[in-house]
Structure 1
Amino acid sequence: MLSAIRSYLLPIIRLYLLGLKVLLVQLFSGPFRLPVMPRQDGKVAIVTGGGRGIGYEVVRHMARLGAHVIIGGKDEQEGLAAVRRICEEYKEAKVEFTKLDLTSLQSVRQFVQSFKERDLPLHVLVNNAGIMLVPEGRTEDGFEQHFGVNYLGHFLLTWLLLDTLKDSGKCGCFSRVVSVSSSAHRLGEIRLNDLNSCHCYSAHAAYCHSKLAQLLFSSHLHQELQRGGYPLSSCAVDPGMVDTALYCHLWTPLRLAQRAIARLLFRTPAEGAATVLYAALSPALEGERGGGYWANGRREMTTATFDPQLQRRLWETSLRLLDLQ
């Protein structure tokens, strides 16, 4: 009994302590200022979860630079409203919404099929959508929700779009996959025999595990692309603690506290989007320089990328789970 209580409470305590540390770092370091990015005319980008928060700011900025941006999201009303707002702000914006429900592998496949039928290139894929601390539940395909949405749905989306991304890149102008991760990955653990977190479920632990899996996937993908000599790079980005709806599942007293301090200590969605945009668009990250893990405009070292065996085992397990072998 005591062991179960400890297993449940420890991830909560560790995650909130990490959050406090991140807030203190943000307070004293200040947000990253995105340099002027080049025009993106002729480029096509897909941004998951682009209807609000960080994703919306990424879409908005890309559209302002001339890119054709497709928002992939679950909430059609929210997505279409985002398209209207951006088009009202930038009359020449090329922005659209397509339904994409990451809790359903069938929806992911339908989204990709619909996109490929249009015979468009794809230069940037931003895996931004995510959930945090949702109650225990399963996706349509039976996967734990954090693992299914944050990681596995994006794994399948990226895998199915890889050929288009490879074909769209060229020497001196690589295509890019940018996965929005979190510092919470540092508390994650990959248990290949319990990826659905069935043993003593904790939403806090499940979130951390999913973000670690996402980072391992991003790193392994970049290495595979390098070995194959493809004009495509993959990196992960930590946007910091940003004032978005992601915190809606916090315990009620903490949610009230979060609302009170968000304006003072949290980054705005535009500030959180800055490093994502830098990773997706900056000429300074061209080619092999585009890999790695980025936070606040800088490449950071993380021990998660130092275990190639774990990366490979997770990659192979994911392929089996998705029947992609």
Structure 2
Amino acid sequence: MWLLSYILPIIRLYLVGVKVLLYQLFNKSFTLPVLPKQNGRVAIVTGGARGMGYETSRHLASLGMHVVIAGNCEEEGMTAVKKIQEEVSVGGVEFMYLDLASLKSIQQFVQRFKDKRLPLHVLVNNAGIMLVPERQTEDGFELHFGLNYLGHFLLTNLLLDPLKKSGRHGACSRVVVMSSATHYGGQLNMKDLQGRSCYCAHGAYSQSKLALVMFTYQLQDMLVAGGHPVTVNAVDPGMVDTALYENLCSPAQLAKKPVAKMLFRTPAEGASTAIYAAASSDLEGVGGCYLYNGRIVESSGISYDENLQAKLWKESCKLVGLPQA
């Protein structure tokens, strides 16, 4: 039984991976259309100093946005800021320290951001880790669940006030949540969200990405019910050649290298749908969607389970210390 619960998530993840690669073999990457200028708008991009996050930050700045790169490595963040400033003259860019594996760091980041008295029009929840060995966050959460999901859950909730105040009907603020096709193989075990009874990095990663999709739908429903001018959409970037794959086992690393050259998307290609979700006029006022390769597609069946969404929200509030409302 233990062996089965360990192996099944691995099989599901790699089957999803094969399906994505076949799609990418026969379909071109989404090409961004010309996007409207974003002068005067402000964005936060988590993990915005490298990979897809950097490409998202760079492109949003080129549209005239003031971009806050939020990350846990100051040297890397300042290097990214310098590169974008050298390339882009219209927007602004700055780095702010944020460790999504620490609830205290998230709270401090939000307070520092609010102290700047800036509006907030776009939040791109991009940062993440994948297939890391069993580890815990500063607050004792399993690392995939704690950083990929809970960290962004708390960050988004704490930033809802500036998002609501900055948006208006016809020009909504936007939350973009980076998920993954691996969520299709994800399972949500409400009795063991931390995966401690039988840890499997593949299952933990898939679960964190499923939780992000369910969070997207639940938050969108709440915002609509409250009449707030904020939209929330989940994005699937496809399989992208980034540092996320550095935790693959050695045989998988060897197999990945030639495949990545032929079939993986570049970070710029992987970021294109997130940029589209953040700035396109086509998605003005549109929320609660799962976007893949520039199109709205269906996410996994379980992700639409409203009872499970509500249970996850309630438990997440409890874990991060937020009121249930």
Q: TM-score, normalised by structure 1?
A: 0.97
Residue aligned with 1:299, SS = strand
Q: Which residues in structure 2 correspond to 1:270-289 (within 5 Å)?
A: 270-287=268-285, 289=286
Residue aligned with 1:290, SS = coil
Instruction: Measure the CA separation in 2 of the matches of 1:296 and 1:147.
Output: 25
Is the Cα contact below 8 Å between 2:62 and 2:89 reproduced in 1? no
Instruction: Measure the CA separation in 1 of the matches of 2:257 and 2:109.
Output: 35
What corresponds to 2:122 in structure 1?
124
Instruction: Measure the CA separation in 2 of the matches of 1:93 and 1:300.
Output: 32
What corresponds to 1:267 in structure 2?
265
Instruction: Measure the CA separation in 2 of the matches of 1:107 and 1:317.
Output: 21
Q: CA deviation at 1:290?
A: 3.1
What corresponds to 1:74 in structure 2?
72
Matched, 1:142 2:133: no
Is the Cα contact below 8 Å between 1:72 and 1:100 reproduced in 2? yes
What corresponds to 1:65 in structure 2?
63
Q: CA deviation at 1:174?
A: 0.1
Q: CA deviation at 1:323?
A: 1.2
Q: Which residues in structure 2 correspond to 1:297-316 (within 5 Å)?
A: 297-302=294-299, 303-316=301-314
Instruction: Measure the CA separation in 1 of the matches of 2:90 and 2:229.
Output: 29
The one-letter code sitting in structure 1 at the alignment partner of 2:156 is: T
**Aligned-residue CA RMSD (Å):** 0.9
Q: TM-score, normalised by structure 2?
A: 0.97
Instruction: Measure the CA separation in 2 of the matches of 1:306 and 1:65.
Output: 34
What corresponds to 1:205 in structure 2?
203
Is the Cα contact below 8 Å between 1:279 and 1:290 reproduced in 2? no
Number of equivalenced pairs: 322
The one-letter code sitting in structure 2 at the alignment partner of 1:8 is: Y
Is the Cα contact below 8 Å between 1:215 and 1:304 reproduced in 2? no
The one-letter code sitting in structure 1 at the alignment partner of 2:287 is: G
Instruction: Measure the CA separation in 2 of the matches of 1:9 and 1:291.
Output: 32
Unaligned runs of 5+ residues in structure 2 are none
The one-letter code sitting in structure 2 at the alignment partner of 1:192 is: M
Q: Deviations over 1:156-209 (max 9, x none)?
A: 000000011000000100000000000111111111111110111100000001
What corresponds to 1:161 in structure 2?
159
Is the Cα contact below 8 Å between 2:234 and 2:291 reproduced in 1? yes
Q: Which residues in structure 2 correspond to 1:1-325 (within 5 Å)?
A: 3-287=1-285, 289-302=286-299, 303-325=301-323
Q: Identical aligned pairs, as a percentage?
A: 58
The one-letter code sitting in structure 2 at the alignment partner of 1:126 is: V
Instruction: Measure the CA separation in 1 of the matches of 2:221 and 2:91.
Output: 34
Q: Deviations over 1:248-269 (max 9, x none)?
A: 0000121122122212100001
Residues 185-194 or 230-239, more deviating:
185-194
Q: Which runs of 4+ in 1 moved over 4 A?
A: none
Is the Cα contact below 8 Å between 2:9 and 2:186 reproduced in 1? no
